[in-house]
Amino acid sequence: DAGITQSPRHKVTETGTPVTLRCHQTENHRYMYWYRQDPGHGLRLIHYSYGVKDTDKGEVSDGYSVSRSKTEDFLLTLESATSSQTSVYFCAISEESLAAALCEQFFGPGTRLTVL
């Protein structure tokens, strides 16, 4: 999984509680992404980061926030979890070279989150 770890790998929580998922990389890549995967929807981008403290919204960002205080860590927070946020969450990383924009994204193992 390209030097990417996600924690926790599984989590069950209750509606209304805050949840933070962590993505850690050892590749020193600049870009990091959070996706969610749901049946029939493929993977959808939640937020992404293009550097330390530089983040932006993806297509399904409502209800989520992110932070990146170090190159290696990208945190995804659900301030008040809802049942619609039950999903599998994947982190991805990519790098940009000087020769050409490297678009390849490499994914972590995922976190399965259940909100009851």
- We find the least distance from the C-beta atom of residue 91 to another protein, in angstroms, to be 8
- We find the least distance from the C-beta atom of residue 57 to another protein, in angstroms, to be 10
CA distance 95 to 25: 12
Choose between 4 and 113: whose C-beta lies nearer to another protein: 4
Residue 19, Cα to own-chain centre: how many angstroms? Answer: 13
Taken as a whole, the chain contains a residue count of 116
- We find the least distance from the C-beta atom of residue 49 to another protein, in angstroms, to be 9
Give 67's strand partners.
Answer: 75
Can you read off the two tokens belonging to residue 78?
């659900």
φ, ψ of residue 62 to 5 degrees: the values are -60, 130
Contact positions toward another protein, by CB under 8 A? 1, 4, 31, 33, 40-45, 48, 50, 56, 58-59, 90, 94, 96, 101, 103-110
